[in-house]
């Protein structure tokens, strides 16, 4: 009996040289986590691919789709697993081509990693191609630009035959590029920025600044929905929430109206960097796009950036809103981000925000209130939600001790997790 399996193809991982196995092993761990709801029998490496088998021997389109959403996967192919019997793999090729949908032209492309197999790739091409021409007499063979390519891959004592292949998200396996803290809102931009950095192998730790207690906590639940929408990628294990509304009110009373947003963001960056220190993260990530809103001009980005010593990654800096929204649809966060929810971004907004802030004016406004005490209070008030989605996420050791060190002035509450 011919089984159907999923062959996982990767691209960048294959270029990694001596540490390639590290990336492959991490991708295997991530796939095991992402496929927990499927009856997966095993995941193993074979000749530059990963092989995913299921208990009933028949891998489904749903399984292939779930695999395609895991970073590090370039393509996924539903393949028939056969022995070296020629009749068996020729029959599998007929099945594979028959399932390819509408087509006019095709070709056969054989690959062979088992050099002791008696047939050369050219012989396999002729053998399988002859059978397919008999079974599909109205179709034509095209060596260049065919509608469908039937792959026949000989590996050890097995033959994998497929024509159905789908594109994956590419990138690198989550957990191979270190940890980052991302500033996450319920809007379109920051979830896409988080996904893009996670796709490059980073383990993401989002921080959401809520308008609570001045607003409802709706945005917090939307952010949790966003994290769950990104679950197939396996990039998030914990989300921090910072109740920011009361501190925003204090800032709005202390600084000039035009500099409120810049001051909010300076505080947010400072708190995010403290959380990054707790987590051992090496960078911050934001969803800023150059010139999209008042706070995202070069002058304003500069005076906010001076608050932190960590690198600040901005993967969307050159993207426009339509591109960002299109990517949000692809990754499954668009519908969530389309919902209205009051959060810290809409709280105490100035009528005329400064678009080209002068450093001297920003520093004067900054010194008009006790910013150090405010940062300590906010760090001490952080809450978090854990998600069982990211095998590469490891909670910080001695969290409470580290938390006390970073917020020495206000570590009194026992209900902080």
DSSP notation for 51-83: EEEETTSB--HHHHHHHHTSTT--EEEEEEEE-
Listed residue (343, 120, 395) closest to 239, CA to CA: 395
Helices (H), ranges, 200-239: 218-229
Listed residue (185, 253, 192, 266) closest to 219, CA to CA: 185
- Alpha carbons within 13 A on the beta-carbon side of 358: 4
The answer to whether the annotation marks 49 as part of a ligand binding site is: no
**Residue in the structure block whose two tokens are 């980005």:** 301
Q: Is 123 helix (H, G, I), strand (E, B) or coil?
A: helix
The answer to whether the annotation marks 332 as part of a ligand binding site is: no
Predicted confidence at residue 151, as pLDDT, reads: 96
Tokens of 310: 């960590």
Q: Are 246 and 281 in contact, with CB atoms under 8 Å apart?
A: no
Residues whose CB is less than 8 angstroms from the CB of residue 408 and which lie 6 or more positions away in sequence, other chains included: 376
Q: Are 191 and 293 in contact, with CB atoms under 8 Å apart?
A: no
- Provide the whole-model pTM: 0.90
Give the Cβ contact number of residue 37 at 10 Å: 9
Listed residue (9, 50, 388, 75) closest to 234, CA to CA: 388
Q: Note the maximum CA span of the chain.
A: 84
The answer to whether the annotation marks 184 as part of a ligand binding site is: yes
The answer to whether the annotation marks 259 as part of a ligand binding site is: no
Q: Are 189 and 324 in contact, with CB atoms under 8 Å apart?
A: yes
CA pair distance 245, 242, nearest whole angstrom: 9
Q: Are 240 and 207 in contact, with CB atoms under 8 Å apart?
A: yes
CA pair distance 50, 53, nearest whole angstrom: 10
Predicted confidence at residue 413, as pLDDT, reads: 42
Give pLDDT < 50 ranges for the chain.
409-417
Predicted confidence at residue 18, as pLDDT, reads: 81
Rounded-to-10 torsion of CA 64, 69, 70, 74: 80
Pairing of strands 3-9, 75-82: antiparallel
Give the Cβ contact number of residue 164 at 10 Å: 17
CA pair distance 352, 215, nearest whole angstrom: 22
Helices (H), ranges, 230-357: 245-254, 260-279, 298-305, 321-331, 334-337
Q: Are 371 and 338 in contact, with CB atoms under 8 Å apart?
A: no
Q: What are phi and psi of 193, to 5 degrees?
A: -60, -40
Instruction: Establish whether the linkage from the previous residue to 297 is cis, with ω within 30° of 0.
Output: no
Residues whose CB is less than 8 angstroms from the CB of residue 400 and which lie 6 or more positions away in sequence, other chains included: 416
Give the Cβ contact number of residue 203 at 10 Å: 25
The answer to whether the annotation marks 208 as part of a ligand binding site is: yes
CA pair distance 49, 44, nearest whole angstrom: 9
Residues whose CB is less than 8 angstroms from the CB of residue 63 and which lie 6 or more positions away in sequence, other chains included: 6, 35, 38, 40, 52, 54
| 8-state DSSP, 202 | P
| CA 250, 254, 256, 260 torsion-angle sign | negative
| 8-state DSSP, 340 | -
Predicted confidence at residue 408, as pLDDT, reads: 53
């Amino acid at each position: 009996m011919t089984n159907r399996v999923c062959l996982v193809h990767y691209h960048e991982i294959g270029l990694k040289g001596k540490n390639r196995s590290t990336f492959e092993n991490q991708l295997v761990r991530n796939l095991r986590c992402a496929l927990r709801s499927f009856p997966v029998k095993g995941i193993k490496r074979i000749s530059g691919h990963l092989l995913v088998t299921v208990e009933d021997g028949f891998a489904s389109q749903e399984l292939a789709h779930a695999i395609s959403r895991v970073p590090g996967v370039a393509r996924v192919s539903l393949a028939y697993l056969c022995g070296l019997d020629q009749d068996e793999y020729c029959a599998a090729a007929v099945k594979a081509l028959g399932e390819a949908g509408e087509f006019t032209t095709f070709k056969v492309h054989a690959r062979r990693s088992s050099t002791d197999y008696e047939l050369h790739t050219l012989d396999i091409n002729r053998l399988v191609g002859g059978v397919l021409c008999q079974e599909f007499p109205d179709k034509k063979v095209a060596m260049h630009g065919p509608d469908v390519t039937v792959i026949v891959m000989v590996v050890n004592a097995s033959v994998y035959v497929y024509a159905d292949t789908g594109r994956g998200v590419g990138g690198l396996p989550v957990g191979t590029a270190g940890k980052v803290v991302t500033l996450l809102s319920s809007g379109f931009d920051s979830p896409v920025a988080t996904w893009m950095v996670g796709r490059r192998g980073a383990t993401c730790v989002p921080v959401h600044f809520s308008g609570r207690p001045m607003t409802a906590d709706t945005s917090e639940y939307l952010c949790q929905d966003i994290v769950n929408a990104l679950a197939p990628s396996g990039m998030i294990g914990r989300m921090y929430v910072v109740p920011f509304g009361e501190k925003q009110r204090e800032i709005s009373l202390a600084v000039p109206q035009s500099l409120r947003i810049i001051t909010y963001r300076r505080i947010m960056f400072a708190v995010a960097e403290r959380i990054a220190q707790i987590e051992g993260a090496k960078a911050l990530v934001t969803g800023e796009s150059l010139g999209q809103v008042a706070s995202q001009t070069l002058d304003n980005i500069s005076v906010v950036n001076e608050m932190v010593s960590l690198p600040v990654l901005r993967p969307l800096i050159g993207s426009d809103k339509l591109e960002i929204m299109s990517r949000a649809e692809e990754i499954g966060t668009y519908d969530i981000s389309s919902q209205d929810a009051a959060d810290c971004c809409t709280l105490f907004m100035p009528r005329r925000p400064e678009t080209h802030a002068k450093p001297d004016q920003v520093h004067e406004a900054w010194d008009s209130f006790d910013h150090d005490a405010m940062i300590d209070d906010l760090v001490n008030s952080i809450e978090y939600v854990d998600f069982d989605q990211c095998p590469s996420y490891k909670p910080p050791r001695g969290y409470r001790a580290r938390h006390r060190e970073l917020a020495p002035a206000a570590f009194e509450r026992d209900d902080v997790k």
